[in-house]
Structure 1
Amino acid sequence: MSDGLLALFDPPADPALEDVAEELLKLDPQGDAWAAVIRHTYDMIYNGQETGRYRWDQLMKTEKTHFGTVFEINAQREFKFAGIDEDPTDYRICGHLVDAKWSQTDGRWMLPPEVTGHIALVATGSDVDSVWSLGLVRVLPRYRTESANRDKKSTLNKEGRAAIRWLWRNEPLRPNVLLQLDQSAVEQIVALKAGTKRTDQLFRVAEGRIVHRSAVLTVARQLDAMRRLRGGSGGSRRALAPDGLLILSGAYHAQIARDLGAPAPRRDEFISVRVVPSAPGQGACISGGWWRLAAPGERTILPAPDLPREAP
């Protein structure tokens, strides 16, 4: 089928597929929960706290294949989709059979013969580009590629891909800061012997960027990484304070970040910012004094202030 004909292609009316689409949009109008499912699935597969991995190309082939299964399970836990073991698909949504499919490569979902005629929930994403997509398609026989592998699985052909009812397309995925940073700098971080030193350096290099909890665990490779970050004489906050750097927690200091004009971290995120004293009313009031973000290249003379005490 030519691209010109595809532009005129109109999939047949499918009330069941629209029922499923409406239900998914009702459950998650902005797609935030789906984005969190995908972010969590990446982090589970990397298993950074035990392995130190944070990139797709660091995974073994079997782990990459397993991503789709973990995605399916995480989605069911999040949305409590129905389903029984005898079904040929993963879920029942509004009474309709729906099979969940993930592909790291857009358009390459592997479809077994038993999903033919049923609805496929197709999802894809890129941790490098921090984007994700999710849509629905009825797997009609004419939508499948002619060739199949030894498991008789096939992919969607051009007409099938054009028939996808996208609910979210190239939406933002919470970024993996270890992929955003210069990779030579990341290599230098992970080469440090002590977990606390690696955490210190992460927040120096990632100044001004949101750092997810999983990135801290990946770099620290310690069970008590969060405690070592927060406090004590050996904590990262204490180590970075002489350089004017604050490590703000989204659980306790999001308002301070907003007052400073920095990106506000969520509850499971952090951000390091360099601060200098300011005039009253300018910036954020911390420990009884006023502070603002340091300008690029501005010298920090005083150490960063102590932050409000966090709950245990």
Structure 2
Amino acid sequence: MWLLSDDGNEADPDPDLAAVRRYLLAADPDGRRMAAAVRRSIDMLLDGQHTGRYRWDQLYKTEKAHLGTLIEINLQREFGFADGRDMDYSIVGTDVDCKYSQTLGAWMIPPEALGHLLLVVWASDERSSWSAGLVRALPERLNNGGNRDAKKTLNAAGRQAVTWLFDRAPLQENMLLRLSEPDIDAIFSHKSGQRRVDELFLRAHGRRVSRTVVATVAMQEDYMKRVRYNGGSRSRLQPRGIVILGHYSSHGRIAEALGLPVPGPGESVSARLAEARPEHGAAPRVELDGREWVLAGPADPEQAVPKLPEI
């Protein structure tokens, strides 16, 4: 579990910090809202739908510097924080400054934040992980040196004083980062957005594919149309035995029956199926159009699969 309890915190007693912590955890008990805001911020910066970018190292240096600002903005939008008097936010009447760092623990703290509460955030798309915590910027918690703007970082005592809300919690996976280089090359080798999406679902069996990934591969305004039946990948790959499960109740049951990841909102999961035969033994199976189907293995020939219900 990523939520840390009070008895695991060694920070000095701080009533305002405790009140802010209670408020944030009441508003977001499992961290899903914060995680979604972080995910949106990274995706906004990559802008895959218009650029085809999906990796941090594809960004310009000036773009990377803006991720902290996007996270600050998206957290405020998500939770409706009021503007602070001197810092970014006012949360239960306390000024709170939001700080993001690409390196866990390396937040840059300006002189004007001294004495204030900080909401410190870290995220790694490569690791599919993020953290958020609270700490008060006290002089004894800061390193002596600073940069040209007199910003300082937390010293060992400061990092130890962070009250973690969520520590290395899972971030929705950027599935393109998990594919091999040959798979990526094959996907992006096609000039047609539809063919790129087809190739994606041919090569990403059993993985959750987000809307953002589809948009990055399609690079078109109507990118989700490239997934659907009536001309999209669902119908184009159907003769090859490929099903693309979406966020439908019936699709969730199919995924569970076959041992596949269940697609969440905006997610798709592809798999190749084969009609069940005696040699498949006790393999998990699902009934479609009155016939039983199992996950296809390398020895199973391609065969057309029935159209899935969209309910």
Q: TM-score, normalised by structure 2?
A: 0.90
Residue type of the alignment partner of 2:193: G
Equivalent of 2:151, from 153, 168, 172?
Answer: 153
Aligned CA distance change for structure 1 residues 224 and 11 (closer, same or farther; 3 Å): closer
Between the aligned partners of 1:121 and 1:197, the Cα distance in structure 2 is 43
Residue type of the alignment partner of 1:235: G
Residue type of the alignment partner of 2:235: R
Residue type of the alignment partner of 1:43: D
What do the CA deviations read for 1:51-73 (whole angstroms, capped 9, x no partner)? 11011111111111111111011
Aligned to 2:125: 127
SS of equivalent to 1:30: coil
Equivalent of 1:246, from 236, 243, 247?
Answer: 243
Instruction: Report whether the alignment pairs 1:45 with 2:45.
Output: yes
Aligned to 2:77: 77
Between the aligned partners of 1:70 and 1:147, the Cα distance in structure 2 is 27
Q: Does the CA-based 8 Å contact 2:116-2:136 persist in structure 1?
A: yes
Aligned to 1:200: 198
Between the aligned partners of 1:220 and 1:142, the Cα distance in structure 2 is 51
Aligned to 2:160: 162
Equivalent of 2:295, from 293, 297, 308?
Answer: 293
Instruction: Report whether the alignment pairs 1:236 with 2:236.
Output: no
How far is the alpha carbon of 1:19 from its aligned partner?
Answer: 0.9
Superposition RMSD in Å: 1.9
Residue type of the alignment partner of 1:291: W
Between the aligned partners of 2:160 and 2:59, the Cα distance in structure 1 is 31
Aligned to 1:116: 114
Between the aligned partners of 1:108 and 1:301, the Cα distance in structure 2 is 52
Between the aligned partners of 1:268 and 1:71, the Cα distance in structure 2 is 21
Between the aligned partners of 1:148 and 1:96, the Cα distance in structure 2 is 26
Residue type of the alignment partner of 2:38: I
Q: Does the CA-based 8 Å contact 2:218-2:226 persist in structure 1?
A: no
Aligned to 1:61: 61
Aligned to 1:5: none
Which structure 1 residue ranges, 5 or more long, are not aligned?
1-8
What do the CA deviations read for 1:27-85 (whole angstroms, capped 9, x no partner)? 1111111111111111111000001101111111111111111101111111111224x
Equivalent of 1:284, from 273, 286, 302?
Answer: 286
Aligned to 1:31: 31
SS of equivalent to 2:237: helix
SS of equivalent to 1:109: coil
Q: Which has the higher contact order (CA 8 A, sep 6+)?
A: 2
**Which aligned pairs between 1:154-233 and structure 2 lie closer than 5 A?**
154-232=152-230
Between the aligned partners of 1:283 and 1:149, the Cα distance in structure 2 is 61
What do the CA deviations read for 1:224-278 (whole angstroms, capped 9, x no partner)? 121122122x421222122211011124622322233211010110000111224
Q: Does the CA-based 8 Å contact 1:287-1:308 persist in structure 2?
A: no
Q: Does the CA-based 8 Å contact 2:246-2:263 persist in structure 1?
A: yes
Residue type of the alignment partner of 2:232: G
SS of equivalent to 1:76: helix
Between the aligned partners of 1:160 and 1:276, the Cα distance in structure 2 is 57
Which structure 2 residue ranges, 5 or more long, are not aligned?
1-8, 278-283
Q: Does the CA-based 8 Å contact 1:261-1:283 persist in structure 2?
A: no
Residue identity (%):
46
Residue type of the alignment partner of 1:148: G
Q: Does the CA-based 8 Å contact 2:248-2:310 persist in structure 1?
A: no
Between the aligned partners of 2:131 and 2:218, the Cα distance in structure 1 is 31
Aligned to 2:138: 140
Q: Does the CA-based 8 Å contact 1:275-1:300 persist in structure 2?
A: no
Between the aligned partners of 1:45 and 1:203, the Cα distance in structure 2 is 25
Q: Does the CA-based 8 Å contact 2:11-2:163 persist in structure 1?
A: no
How far is the alpha carbon of 1:288 from its aligned partner?
Answer: 4.3
Q: Does the CA-based 8 Å contact 2:174-2:213 persist in structure 1?
A: yes
Between the aligned partners of 2:18 and 2:299, the Cα distance in structure 1 is 56
Instruction: Report whether the alignment pairs 1:304 with 2:305.
Output: yes
Aligned to 1:93: 91
How far is the alpha carbon of 1:309 from its aligned partner?
Answer: 4.0
Aligned length: 297
Q: Which runs of 4+ in 1 moved over 6 A?
A: none
Between the aligned partners of 1:68 and 1:144, the Cα distance in structure 2 is 20
